[in-house]
Amino acid sequence: MNDKLISFLKENEFVSGEILAKNLDISRTAVWKQIKSLKEMGYEIESVKNKGYMLVSKPDIPLPEEVKAGLNTKIIGKKIIYFKKIDSTNLYCKSLVKENGDEGIVVVADIQEKGRGRKSRMWSSPFGGLWFSIILRPEIPPQNAMILTMAASVSIVEAIKEVSDLKPIIKWPNDILISNKKICGVLTELDAEIGKINYAIVGIGLNVNNLIKKDLQDIASSLKNESNEYISRVDFLKNILEKFDSNYDYVRSFDYKKIRDLWFSYANIVGKKIRVNREKDIVLGTVSDVDETGCLIIKNDKGFEKIITGDVTFL
């Protein structure tokens, strides 16, 4: 109901309660209650006797009514679920897939209390950022699941470049940096069996307009800090979802090369000397390639070595 009312208010200046009631097929009392609900959500609506209601401004909050308005996607974003506060959008998606949640559902929150990144590291998720997860059911082999993270990273970089003059760089395996500071992390979690992915959840934590904790300011930043401009979270999220939807088409058609080529153009990693901290050892070498399973191929005095996981530092 809210989305129909908002759409009608956007298309008009002042509109009477009588006209709203007629077009929405509800009572005028119900219209008043809906208007009150929208005001509580952050919409500024002016009410004038004998003239009706007029939408003055809308909140920059990723509400389903706002994100879905004009969203041009085929799969991703078919349904948007919003929370003011949640423990983790990835965890909520896991509860949805147990109930056969549809592919393309996006769960977004203003605040995550238990946001986490790779290796279960805490991810600070205060108000002002974009914290969201997407349910996917790709019919690709589990060993190629890294292509989902790569497609998501490419989509985020494309969206950042469209709304700013910033120059984001993808850092293997799942970070996006600007000025060598972390802006975004992508966490892809799978439920799979031999030869089949039952579902994948792509979780994205993106510092947009949020404040960065003092103890993180040496290694992390936000788009607002780097661009000196406020970024509309609603418009930016729609941009990301549309780009990811388009890039997901390449994944579904097994065109991994397209995604890898885009990823390489933003990663700038081949030929770089790196140190990889793994759980039990440290590996030094020069990046030769990233294969179709998303593993780093580095060259050192031992020859070529495949790196499946680890923390990378450029030398």
CATH number of 2-57: 1.10.10.10
Residue 295 has pLDDT above 90, yes or no: no
Within 10 angstroms of residue 37's Cβ, the number of other Cβ atoms is 13
Query: Which option is the CATH number for 273-314: 3.40.30.10, 2.30.30.100, 3.40.50.720, 3.40.50.2300?
Result: 2.30.30.100
User: How many other C-beta atoms are found inside a 10 Å radius of the C-beta of residue 102?
Assistant: 12
Give exposure, 2-12, as e/b (b: 16+ Cβ within 10 Å): eeebbebbeee
Q: Is the pTM of this model over 0.95?
A: no
Which residue has better confidence, 277 or 233?
A: 233
CATH class label, 64-267: alpha beta
Question: If you count them, how many residues does the chain have?
Answer: 315
Give the 3-state secondary structure of residue 50.
coil
pLDDT tens track for 59-81: 899 999 899 989 999 999 989 99
pLDDT at 120: 60
What is the share, in percent, of the chain residues with pLDDT greater than 70? 97
Average pLDDT of the segment spanning 197-218:
94
Sheet containing 282-290: give its strands across: 303-307, 296-300, 282-290, 273-277, 311-314
Mean pLDDT, rounded, of the chain: 91
pLDDT at position 179: 93
- Domain-wise residue ranges, the chain: 2-57, 64-267, 273-314
pLDDT above 70 for 157: yes
Average pLDDT over residues 258-267: 93
**pLDDT for residue 115 is more than 90:** no
